[in-house]
Amino acid sequence: MQKHWWKVLSVLLIAYSIIAGFLGDVPARDILNESIRNLYFHVSMWFAMITMMTISLVYSIKYLAGYKRPFDNRANLFAEMGLVFSFLGIVTGALWAKFTWGAFWTNDPKLNGTAITILIYLAYFILRGSMDDQDKKARIAAVYNIFAFVLMIVFIGILPRITDSLHPGNGGNPGFNQYDMDSSMRQVFYPAVLGWILFGVWVAGIRYRINTSKERIETWKNDILNQLH
């Protein structure tokens, strides 16, 4: 039970962020109005996504350092989790944009950054699928993961600074302090981010156990078949 406290914490934090996110007080801002509550759900998706991608990057580096298969498996699963969060972020953002900007999609550096991130990671999964040899697949995918992650950070971290954007918190600086947040919102926002990150790690862990169990069942099956023949 001691190992599971953070899973309970994750559920509690998410539940708290949903309840406090809808019922709590928010500062009245022009244009944003009540839609500012979306920050709790939309922006925390991006924080969770970047964290998942970073964990995936770390596992890719670890894989290249020692060629241990479990690291590659985890890198793959965390990239998948990151992609899930990016889709959730796109949906929550698009719904918000429809009511605030009047369109689901606009030509904005942040939106382009998301689209690129999704394309890059979809290409990562296609790259993995295109090779049969497990060790070669792991090695090449790790190299691509590292290369793509760095370029993605350039794209979503640096490019918005030299171009303009409609996005809240922008106007030359995508920095997080520029958000129209006050301390009462931070009390909900940070727990939401932490909750979703823990939730992502949890799901990736479960998927890892499912994957390794499947592989083990395959090898057992093959062993039994070999003995029968």
Partner 1 sequence: MFAAIFGAMLKEIVALIKKDALLEFRQRYAFFSILLYVVATVYISYLIFISINDARVWNALFWIILVFASINTAGKSFSNESENRFWYYYQIASPQALILAKVIYNTLLIWAISLITYLVYSWFIGNPVQSQWQFLLVLLLGSASFSGILTVVSAIAVRTNNNATLMSILSIPLLLPVVIIVVRASLGAMFGLDFEQNLVYLGALLALNTLVIILGFLLFPYLWRE
Q: Which of 18, 64, 94, 166 binds partner 1 (CB under 8 A)?
A: 64
* CB of 29 closer than 8 Å to CB of 180: yes
Under the binding rule (CB under 8 A), the answer on residue 155 touching partner 1 is yes
User: Binding to partner 1 by residue 140, rule CB under 8 A?
Assistant: yes
> What are 148's two structure tokens?
């793509």
Q: How far is the CB of 57 from partner 1 (least distance, A)?
A: 12
Per residue, the 3-state secondary structure of 84-135, as one string, reads: HHHHHHHHHHHHHHHHHCCCCCCCCHHHHHHHHHHHHHHHHHHHHHCCCCHH
Residue 30 or 133: the one with the smaller Cβ distance to partner 1 is 133
For partner 1, the closer of residues 15 and 119 by Cβ is 119
Closer by beta carbon to partner 1, 29 or else 137 = 137
First-residue to last-residue Cα distance in the chain: 44
Among 18, 32, 159, 203, contact with partner 1 (rule: CB under 8 A): 159
Task: Using CB under 8 A, pick the residue from 39, 57, 90, 142 that binds partner 1.
Answer: 142
Task: Please give the angle made by the CA atoms of 25, 184 and 43, to the nearest 5 degrees.
Answer: 90
The C-alpha atoms of residue 35 and residue 193 are separated, in whole angstroms, by 18
- Please give the backbone phi and psi of residue 2, each rounded to the nearest 5 degrees, phi first: -60, -30
Tell whether residue 163 is a contact of partner 1 (CB under 8 A).
yes
Residues near partner 1 (CB under 8 A) are 64, 112, 116, 119-120, 123, 126-127, 130-132, 136, 139-140, 142-144, 146-148, 150-151, 154-155, 158-159, 162-163
